[in-house]
Amino acid sequence: MYIIAYDKDGRYQDDIAAALPSGGEIIWLTSPKDLVSQEIWWQAQVLVIAAEHWPDETVEQLLDTFSPRHCILLDFTPECQWYGLPHRDNLSLCEPEDLAHRLSGLVSMETHPPKRLALMSATQGFDVCLLSLSLAWQVTARSKQPVLILDLGQPGSDIAGYLNKPAGVNFIRLLEHSTVINPSWLSANGAELVAGIHVVGMPESESFDAPDKDSLVTLMDQLEASYSTIIINLDGMPPCPLLYLFAARCDQHWLLTGQKNVSLVKTRRLAESLYNKGVRPGGVNLILAPYLLSVLPDKETIAEQLDLPVRGVLPCAHSLITDINAGTLLPPTGEYKQFLHAVDQLLRVRSKKMPWFNKITGMFNREVKYE
């Protein structure tokens, strides 16, 4: 991962470098012009600024240029004047001793199951409907709480068809009844296709007015208040305001890709577009699907080349087509149980902590310098 940093006099470069997460690479700036003159800045995930003066036009220009991506400002002014800045969603002000923790919180992969998950793909090559349904099955089995799937994949998506059941309430109707929505209402209107799994798709007819942003925000507020877990299938939706609106509501963003170079390049661009909309970098993870051991590049090479964390891999799901066509996918049996095991691994990943030597050394250096 790339972290861009600015320290005018170079006094705090060692401290900033010591706080860098494992595997990170730091790029030092001397002026705002450096920020836009380097192609690598599009891939940068976080900007760290050591500010010693107030006001400082250079610092303000850097914040404006890098926004809405995430910025961390270390305020070294005598009276901490930068803490008086107007609130910015993407700006964190922190003490030097907290920098490592703050950086880790922005760029580290989440190890817990997502509460709001966006499933995306720059090139439609894997069955995201199947993945959405499988994730919901695993989550509701563990939590015993209803899970909502917003099935908004393009050009068309039909999870109800996978279960050989009629589609219930659609997304446009939800917008019309946003003030009364809750799990009981959705269940009564045909959204509960399987016990504990509520699915809302788009209407078959395209003859409806485009929803406005305020209506969408109101609807999402209501849904988030009603469900502890929401999975949003955005497969095939091109980068657009609607995609970014849904992405902004999610804590994790899983990008599905195969092993073809063209797919990997497009996936990297999709990740960069999410960074540039203020999405937390650590929430943007790769899912290699389908992943074949006999095909190159392998998982480790892809993670290194794309500079994106690989959350996990999924096997080819072609063998499940017979069960899907027959409407016998659930309850799971045979090969689908094996597929669900792979899906479960995506929900439970091990955290990668900072090496103990770097952590202790960084703490010691800060204590010597600031106490």
Dig out the tokens for 360 from the structure. Answer: 């202790």
Residue-wise pLDDT for 45-63, tens only, equals 899 999 999 999 999 999 9
Q: What is the CATH number of domain 2-108+354-370?
A: 3.40.50.2300
Domain residue limits, the chain: 2-108+354-370, 116-347
Look at the domain 116-347 and name its fold.
Rossmann fold (3.40.50)
CA atoms within 13 A on the CB side of 184: 1
148, pLDDT greater than 70? yes
End-to-end CA distance of the chain: 31
**284: pLDDT confidence band, cut at 50, 70 and 90?**
very high
For all residues of the chain together, what is the average pLDDT?
88
C-alpha angle 156-258-308 in degrees, rounded to nearest 5 = 105
Alpha carbon 84 to its chain's center = 30
Residue-wise pLDDT for 157-214, tens only, equals 788 888 888 888 889 889 988 888 889 999 999 999 999 999 999 887 766 777 889 9
363, pLDDT greater than 80? no
* Residue 328: strand, helix, or coil: coil
Closest listed residue to residue 159, CA positions, set 186, 205, 192: 192
Cβ atoms within 10 A of the Cβ of 72, count?
Answer: 23
Measured CA to CA, the distance from residue 123 to residue 263 in angstroms comes to: 6
**69: pLDDT confidence band, cut at 50, 70 and 90?**
very high
pTM, full prediction: 0.89
* Residue 307: strand, helix, or coil: coil
pLDDT value, residue 43:
73
Indicate if 116-347 has the same CATH topology as 2-108+354-370.
yes
The pLDDT of 143-160, averaged and rounded, is 88
**40: pLDDT confidence band, cut at 50, 70 and 90?**
low
